[in-house]
Amino acid sequence: MVLMMLVSSPVQAQIDRVAPPNWWIGFKDTSLQLMVKADGIKDAKVSIDNKGVYLQQVHQADSPNYLFIDLEISDEAEAGKFKIDLQLRDKDDLSFDYELKARQVSSDKFEGFSSKDAIYLITPDRFANGDLSNDVVKTMKETSLDRNDDYARHGGDIQGIIDHLDYIREMGFTAIWSSPLLENDMPTASYHGYAITDFYKVDPRFGDLETYKKLAREANKRGIKLIMDMIANHCGSEHWWMDDLPYNDWINGQKAYEAGEDIPITSHRRTTNQDPYASNYDKQKMSEGWFVDSMPDLNQENPMMAKYTIQNSIWWIETLQLGGIRQDTYPYPDKQFMAEWCKAIMNEYPNFNIVGEEWSYNPLLVGYWQHDEDRSGYRSYLPTTMDFPMQQNIVDGLMQEEGWDTGLIRIYEGLANDFHYYDPKSIMIFADNHDMDRIHTWLEKDVQKTKMAMGLILTLPRIPQVYYGTEILMDNSENRGDHGLIRSDLPGGWPDDEIDAFKQEGLADKQVEFQNFMKSLLNYRKTSDALDYGKTLHFAPFEGTYSLFRYEEDEIVAVLLNKNDETKTIETRRYQELELVGSQLRNIITGEMMSWKEKITIKPGITLLTTKLSDEK
């Protein structure tokens, strides 16, 4: 009898993850914390050998499979790779190479979006399919592709955006805000991107990191800034760390999650952030509850989570040379952390910009988050917030019957609230977005009213944002509130589309006319000092009309709204402080000339006039 012994060779241990995957020299903040994940490394001794890079501290996590390593990147550090060694008890030692890169530009060279920009908001899965080969990735949890299903993936990707950058530029947009493009490996509705499962990885159905970098480069060549949609509040329930959380308090509600019990869901009572009488119970329920049960709430009070999130944002700013960040669900995370996050970014990039989503129709709440210190001593460091109150005022102003406190007075008095804002022209105004009914739906598919709304959006003292498809009057009237329908495909983005919005092929006459209206006004904005930083003057509505003026030195832009069905004749003595009588003004849309006399006539709808007789600066 032959005895055979089977000897199994030991499996070589390996590093699973290192985050951030690389870093840079030359930052103002010289600290760096690495999250390292590998089996059984909790007790490892860490050593490095690199001139200018110093080991400060090693933090053991609650899980045996993580280490958090604090480094100091001194002025002596040079770009290049260096080795980090992990000495383990009873196991083979581990090591990995880590790279420090030279920065492309210094921090003060980063220019964030501002009131001189017009932002184009894109839902990438629904914009254009530029790479058919990545439509389905079989290793992902959702592999269906069905353009007839509003909640399935449709195949739009980063290459689709790249392919239409010239269209975006020619329309007059100077910045792109895309909803998240990072990995969203969720079993259903993964197209929208807001349940991220890896904060350092591009979703392969959108492309890869190199394609994302190409988008940033190609946009920059065309004078278009790239704004990244980020989420500090939550991740997706399929995030890779959910199977092995580093700390016992890495996410809020962690005990319930690990025990399979009911998950605490947020109350959505965002006023607890400002309410001087709010109970601790209500504050906690708001900030520590999960947004929905598929989006675990991240605990930024854990200092490792806080550092991870800040570094992740800076990593993407540097990697893509971003022109801004849009922070999703801004009031939901711990507000002290959000101030630290904003401060860290704005200290490093003083000319950068961040816009936070505060979905409230109360200007007191929106203004609370913008920048300045409040009475309680809280300072957010956030430059920009989203103007949901004014969006609602515009819709109400155009849809309500004219009355003492209804109709156009809503717009007039809404703008009067600007005294509350630290910097009104740094507030982001919009007619709609990916989470609400489209503006053409709000306005019951009235083209004239939609022109009035968009004319206001693009001329108010604000940073304007336009949702893709608005330029061709896309709507979701057949099913209001349906997010999948709100995020419908832009026609022309797929090879077999019979209608092509990019080339104005197959569009209805009203769509072409509206697209040209938007293009004319957007391109005028590019050279308008008055619409960038000019002063604002408006006049109380009367007889169904409202007038607003933006002016700077020799340029005046007149925005004249007429809600009536007939032409109105107006005596211009009410506008005498502008000293316009006898001036020649050009219609921004049609190019027609008009003489400003003691009486002028305004057609129904919106009239946009300028004293600047040439587009040349």
pLDDT of residue 616: 45
CB-CB contact of 158 with 130 (8 Å)? yes
pLDDT of residue 155: 98
Residues 222 and 344 in one domain: yes
Residue 596 domain flag:
yes
Residue 283 domain flag:
no
Q: What is the CATH number for 57?
A: 2.60.40.10
Q: Is 328 an annotated catalytic residue?
A: yes
Residue 127 domain flag:
yes
378 in helix, strand or coil?
A: coil
- Per the structure, the complete domain to which residue 602 belongs is given by 530-610
CB-CB contact of 200 with 209 (8 Å)? no
Integer-rounded Cα radius of gyration of the chain: 27
Q: What is the CATH number for 369?
A: 3.20.20.80
Residues 44 and 133 in one domain: no
Residue 328 domain flag:
yes
Residues 38 and 86 in one domain: yes
Residue 225 domain flag:
yes
pLDDT of residue 528: 97
**Contacts with 245 (C-beta within 8 Å, 6 or more apart), sequence order:** 62, 63, 251, 254, 258
My answer on whether omega of the bond before 21 falls inside 30° of 0, hence cis, is no
In DSSP notation, 152-219 reads: SB----HHHHHHTHHHHHHHT--EEEEPP-EE---SS-GGG--S-SEEEEE-TTT--HHHHHHHHHHH
Q: Please name the residue that has the structure tokens 């200018």.
A: 52
Catalytic: which of 357, 432, 475, 497? 357
Give the largest CA-CA distance in the chain. Answer: 118
From the CB of residue 65, how many other CB atoms can be counted at a distance below 10 Å?
A: 16
Q: How many angstroms separate the CA atoms of 172 and 520, rounded?
A: 8
Residues 355 and 407 in one domain: yes
Cα-flanking dihedrals φ and ψ of residue 535, to 5°?
Answer: -75, 165
- Quick: pLDDT tens for 402-424: 999 999 999 999 999 999 999 99
Residue 515 domain flag:
yes
Q: Is 552 an annotated catalytic residue?
A: no
Tokens representing residue 169 in the block:
């530029």
pLDDT of residue 91: 80
- The H or E element that residue 399 is part of is helix 388-399
pLDDT of residue 615: 53
Q: Mark which of 40, 69, 103 sits at the end of a domain.
A: 103
Residues 321 and 180 in one domain: yes
pLDDT of residue 572: 95
Tokens representing residue 55 in the block:
């080991």
Residues 124 and 149 in one domain: yes
Q: What is the CATH number for 578?
A: 2.60.40.1180
Residues 65 and 199 in one domain: no
Cα-flanking dihedrals φ and ψ of residue 502, to 5°?
Answer: -70, -30
How many structural domains are present in the chain? 3
Residues 573 and 456 in one domain: no
Query: Which parts of the chain sit beneath pLDDT 50?
Result: 1-11, 616-617
Residues 514 and 535 in one domain: no
pLDDT of residue 478: 94
Residue 6 domain flag:
no
Catalytic: which of 125, 142, 157, 328? 328
Q: How many angstroms separate the CA atoms of 318 and 32, rounded?
A: 15
> Which of left, alpha, beta for 155 (phi over 0: left; psi -120 to 50: alpha)?
left
Q: Mark which of 45, 77, 103 sits at the end of a domain.
A: 103
The pTM for the full model equals 0.96
Q: Mark which of 488, 504, 526 sits at the end of a domain.
A: 526
**Contacts with 139 (C-beta within 8 Å, 6 or more apart), sequence order:** none
Residues 395 and 541 in one domain: no
The alpha carbon torsion through 78, 80, 86, 91 (nearest 10 deg) reads -160
Residue 273 domain flag:
no
Local structure of residue 581 (DSSP, 8 states): T
Q: Which residues on neighbouring strands pair with residue 613, listed in sequence order?
A: none
Tokens representing residue 616 in the block:
């040349």
Residues 305 and 227 in one domain: yes
